[in-house]
Amino acid sequence: MVIEVVNLNGYAKLSTIGQPMSDQAKITMYFTRPDYGHINFKWLLNDPKTYTRPISNERVFVLSPNIEIMEYGCMEGNLRSLLEGAITPWVGPKETEETGKNLVYNSARDWPAYDLTKPQKITGVIKQVLSRDPFEFVRIDAAGKMLDVVLAPPVRMEFRGLAERTFQTGVTITVDAVPSKTKPNEVRAQTITINGKTTEMR
C-alpha cells in the first residue's frame, strides 16, 4: 500500500526536534507485509525548497499479540488545557507570518537561494559567531577571504552533537558548501568538519 501526503501548508515539522517542511513537501509512505507477523514501513520526503535531496526512513512493525497497543496521540487533557489557557490553539498564520513559508529559513536562505551546481570545499578559521537564532551562522577567514557560513538551526546542531561551545573564535573548520546567488560572501554548508568529525547540516 502506498499513501501520499501533499498540499502541506509549510508549518508542519518533520520531527519533534523541529526540522522544517515547506509547502512544496510531499511525503510518500510505503507499507508492505512480507509475512503474517511483520509490516515493513518506509517514508520518503521530497521537499526541494528545504532540502537538497530526498530524506527517508525505514522500520519494521512486529506483531505482538500479548501486548496492548496504545494510541499514539497527544489528545488527552487538551480540552482542559485549552479551557484553562495552558495552551493556545493555532488557527492559522497571523498577518505577520507568510503563509506556506519555511519558518526556519526565510526565502533568502532557502536552498533555492544557493547555487547547488557549484559545491565548494572551504577551510577557514572562525573569526566570529554571528547568531544562533533561527540558525547557526559563523564568519570565517578562508585564505584571507572573509566568508559568512550558514550552518543549521541550533536544535539540529545540538541534536547532532554540535553544542554552542563547539564554535569558538580561532577554531578551524572545513565545510562542503554552496554559494549564495545574491550574497557574494555567503555560503550555506551541506556538511561541516570540526575537530576531525564531519556532520551533516541538511
Q: What's the grid cell of residue 156?
A: 539540529
Taking the CB of residue 90, how many other CB atoms lie within 10 A of it? 8
Specify whether 7 is located in the same domain as 78: yes
Q: DSSP E strands: which ranges in 37-194?
A: 38-46, 55-62, 120-131, 137-142, 145-150, 172-179, 186-194
User: Is 102 among the domain residues?
Assistant: no
Q: What is the pLDDT of residues 78-94, one digit of tens each?
A: 666 667 766 666 666 66
User: Is 11 among the domain residues?
Assistant: yes
Q: Which helix (H) or strand (E) holds 29?
A: strand 26-35
CATH number at residue 157: 2.40.50.1010
3-state secondary structure of 106: coil
Question: With contact defined as beta carbons under 8 Å apart, do 175 and 121 qualify?
Answer: yes
Specify whether 13 is located in the same domain as 60: yes
d(CA 52, CA 22): 13
Specify whether 186 is located in the same domain as 132: yes
Q: Which of 110, 145, 136 is nearest to 194 (CA)?
A: 136
d(CA 22, CA 25): 6
Provide the number of structural domains found in the chain.
2
User: Is 94 among the domain residues?
Assistant: no
Specify whether 191 is located in the same domain as 113: yes
Tell me what pLDDT residue 132 has: 62
User: Is 23 among the domain residues?
Assistant: yes
Specify whether 112 is located in the same domain as 196: yes
Q: Which of 5-9, 50-54, 71-75, 145-149 has the highest mean pLDDT?
A: 145-149
Specify whether 131 is located in the same domain as 66: no
In terms of residue numbers, what domain contains 133? 107-200
- The backbone torsions φ and ψ at residue 144, rounded to the nearest 5 degrees and listed phi first, read 90, -5
Q: What is the pLDDT of residues 154-173, one digit of tens each?
A: 777 877 888 777 888 999 99
